[in-house]
Amino acid sequence: MTVLGPQRAGIPLPQPTAVSRPFWEGCAAGELRYQHCGACDRAVFDPAWACRYCDADALQWRTSAGRGEVYSHTVVWRPQAPQFTAPYAVVIVTFDEGFQMLTNLIGGTVEEVRVGLRVQATFHDVGDGITLPYVEPDRS
């Protein structure tokens, strides 16, 4: 019943791009940012230049309240790269604003992860200017 924690420094890190930089800047500021399409009124994630639903280039950044629920999950016991600490719980979260994000669950146990679990976003600086978004069980 080990409580899952964030990954340590030394793991392969994401490389922010021109389109994803606002998202990563949000993580560093403790904010979960997503895009909203002004043409079709839908939440969009991953960061993109145009809406994945209607192709309009009317995307504006918004800040999520950071609360949602687990849509799907799995547990990794044998990581693909040796720098990762296993086990870790990979989850797809549907946030209350309507977008989904692939992330890891921490602050809970492997046994606790389930579809529908309410979660909240949390952030951890992993070094090299990158702060990673995670979710943890919403205990409020």
Which residues bind to Zn ion, rule: CB under 5 A? 37, 39-40, 51, 53-54, 56
Least separation, in Å, of the C-beta of 32 and Zn ion?
A: 20
Long-range contact pairs involving 34-37 (C-beta distance under 8 Å, separation at least 24):
34/61, 34/62, 34/64, 34/95, 34/97, 34/99, 34/101, 35/59, 35/60, 35/61, 35/62, 36/60, 36/61, 36/62, 36/97
Paired with 131 in beta bridges are 125
Of residues 59 and 91, the one with the C-beta less far from Zn ion: 59
Of residues 9 and 56, the one with the C-beta less far from Zn ion: 56
Least separation, in Å, of the C-beta of 92 and Zn ion?
A: 21
Of residues 23 and 88, the one with the C-beta less far from Zn ion: 23
CA distance 66 to 110: 21
Of residues 10 and 38, the one with the C-beta less far from Zn ion: 38
Least separation, in Å, of the C-beta of 60 and Zn ion?
A: 11
Least separation, in Å, of the C-beta of 24 and Zn ion?
A: 23
